[in-house]
A and B are shown apart, each in its own frame.
Chain A
Amino acid sequence: MEPQCKRRKASESETVAWDVFPVLSDEQSQDAELLEAYAAPIINKKETSRLVKELASIYPLPGVQHIKRVRACKDSGSLNPLEVIVCLVRDVQPIPNNKDLSISALLPSDRVDISGLGKPFLVKVPAYPPLTRPQFEQASRHWPTSFHEDKRVTVALKGQLFTADQKAKMQKFMTAAVMAAKAGRALGMDAVGAVIVDPQTERVLATGHDCRGGANPLHHAVMVCIDLVARGQGGGAYKFDRYPTCQFSVPTSSPHQSRTVISPSVDLLGLDQAEQSWVPYICTGYDLYVTREPCVMCAMALVHSRIGRVFYGVASEDGALGTKYKIHTQKDLNHHFEVFKGVLEQECEELKQDGALIK
């Protein structure tokens, strides 16, 4: 059943058969929202700066400062090579009939020399500054916009954020999670496995599988691993000794000598149970590898534990790190982290399929 030769091959070769992509916020992943605007050709190119200045004084376009006021006409053979945004449709009284659309209907002739502008027309402009290159490219098809590119996001969206060497290590850790999932499945648990790793030392601090078939239905693999990390640091609420695969190791001298961190100044109405003077943020800076996307309980447990990054193999139906929620980017929460999916996708997908067959 276990393709021995295949596994060896994967660890030896530097190339891996999967891609890893970031799970971005809704703002970063949604399609560019568009607004309607009136644009007009600039009849004499030399008048451009005067027209832009005068238009800006009448219609300063608040809230859409990212759009470029003037664009080069798409049709290169055009008589008027430049076009300018006059105003947003929402800035003026509704003009129900396109035939009634004229420059004088949009602009007071006493404040602009409207003879410099041709017949206006409707365009769509991006409502918000683009956050990612795909959004920028999409928005630019409608009207030029400025874009402050986060190069890291661009590279990540191409699946190229990690080097082959890094991916080989990720594969090693996810393989450990897959093995744990299989060990759990052999005990009648859901086939989900997880490991928590200190990326500084590359040590696996906790390995766990789903234990919900045991004494506690809340012992999802992630909850098991969080408690095992606590156990490795002298805490922990449970004993998982009867599950030989669920293991912890004591962190070796880590840069954070004590992982107990002083909480930021306590907000009077903060009502955070976890935020007393001393709180064990035990997973600060650590990476979690889990075979499938965590549920809402587990995702929020990772926020409370201040996890550094999460890598998962495949999405799950009620997943809370991308599918149903994006807890890691949730605005009101006080800790955010990066989430990546696709690591060892095929093997993780197979675990899910097996689970479905059992049920």
Chain B
Amino acid sequence: MGTETDDNPADHRNTFQPSSEEIEHWMQKAFDMAKEALENGEVPVGCLMVYNNEVLGRGRNEVNETKNATRHAEMVALDHVLQWCHQENRNSKEVFKETVLYVTVEPCIMCAGALRLLNIPLVVYGCRNERFGGCGSVLNVPADELPRTGAPFKCISGFRSEEAVELLKLFYKQENPNAPKPKARKD
């Protein structure tokens, strides 16, 4: 089980808390997704946005196809939630307030900023992201004093973190860094 960090006692949204069975269940799905990505040669990160026991967003990294370096799995998943709200004619502000992000790797600083701007109340993640992590590793965006950047959110970190790291190691091993994928280029 993960450990809780960064509780904001003043934050009324702390009352919003999925049960440990729910957390277990959705993180299992996130890990399944990460493994599936690995099998397809993609970055093994699983990322789910769950609202009212329903998966509204499921992101995978789309940096390469969009040539947009900000298209991290979390940003893609947030867009899915927005699309769902649009289709269902729901107020996205209300939906985000009760949507949990389950992700196998700690969100980066940018994604943490985006989650906070949208008032996501809780993020459950697997391993730390030492190089870019915005939920405690490099910066602590959910807990810092940022009155104009949405609301602080809670994190449950370290959920099956060894497994999440192992998946990434496997990915980088198969993605031999000495032999980058050849790219069609006419010099």
Contact = CB atoms under 8 A, between A and B. Distances in A.
Interface of A: 215-218, 223, 226-227, 230, 233-237, 258, 260, 262, 265-274, 276-282, 295-301, 303-306, 316-318, 320, 324-325, 327, 330, 332-334
Interface in B70-127: 70-73, 75, 78-79, 82, 86, 92, 105, 108-114, 116-118, 127
The main secondary structure of chain B at its interface with chain A is loop
Contact of A236 (B68, B72, B131): B68
Contacts, number: 166
Given A217-B118, A300-B109, A235 B66 contact: yes
A280 to B, nearest CB: 4
Contacts of A306: 69
A269 B68 contact: no
Please give me the 9 A-B residue pairs with the lowest Cβ-Cβ distance, nearest first. A235-B67, A297-B113, A300-B110, A296-B113, A230-B68, A280-B67, A277-B180, A304-B69, A300-B109
Given A296-B149, A318-B146, A270 B131 contact: yes
Given A218-B118, A269-B169, A273-B72, A233 B67 contact: yes
B148 interface: yes
B64 interface: yes
30 contacts: A215-B82, A215-B86, A218-B75, A230-B67, A237-B66, A237-B68, A237-B71, A262-B180, A266-B177, A267-B131, A268-B168, A269-B168, A271-B131, A272-B129, A273-B61, A276-B64, A277-B180, A278-B183, A279-B63, A279-B64, A280-B64, A282-B68, A297-B117, A303-B110, A304-B70, A305-B70, A317-B147, A325-B139, A327-B109, A332-B130
Contact of B70 (A278, A301, A317, A324): A301
Contacts of A237: 62, 66, 68, 71, 79
B36 to A, nearest CB: 16
Given A278-B64, A304-B69, A216 B109 contact: no
B113 A274 contact: no
Nearest to A331: B138
Given A237-B62, A300-B110, A324-B144, A268 B131 contact: no
B69 A280 contact: yes
A272 B45 CA distance: 10
B136 interface: no
Nearest to A304: B69
B49 interface: no
A305 B71 CA distance: 11
B168 A280 contact: no
A330 B133 CA distance: 12
Given A217-B92, A300-B109, A305-B69, 19 more contacts: A226-B70, A235-B67, A236-B68, A258-B185, A271-B127, A271-B165, A273-B45, A273-B72, A274-B72, A276-B63, A277-B181, A278-B181, A296-B139, A296-B149, A301-B69, A304-B70, A305-B68, A318-B147, A332-B131
Contacts of A316: 148
Contacts of B62: 237
Contact of A279 (B69, B86, B168): B69
Contacts of B108: 273, 300, 304
A294 to B, nearest CB: 10
Given A271-B127, A295-B113, A300-B113, A276 B43 contact: yes
B6 to A, nearest CB: 16
B66 A272 contact: no
A281 B64 CA distance: 10
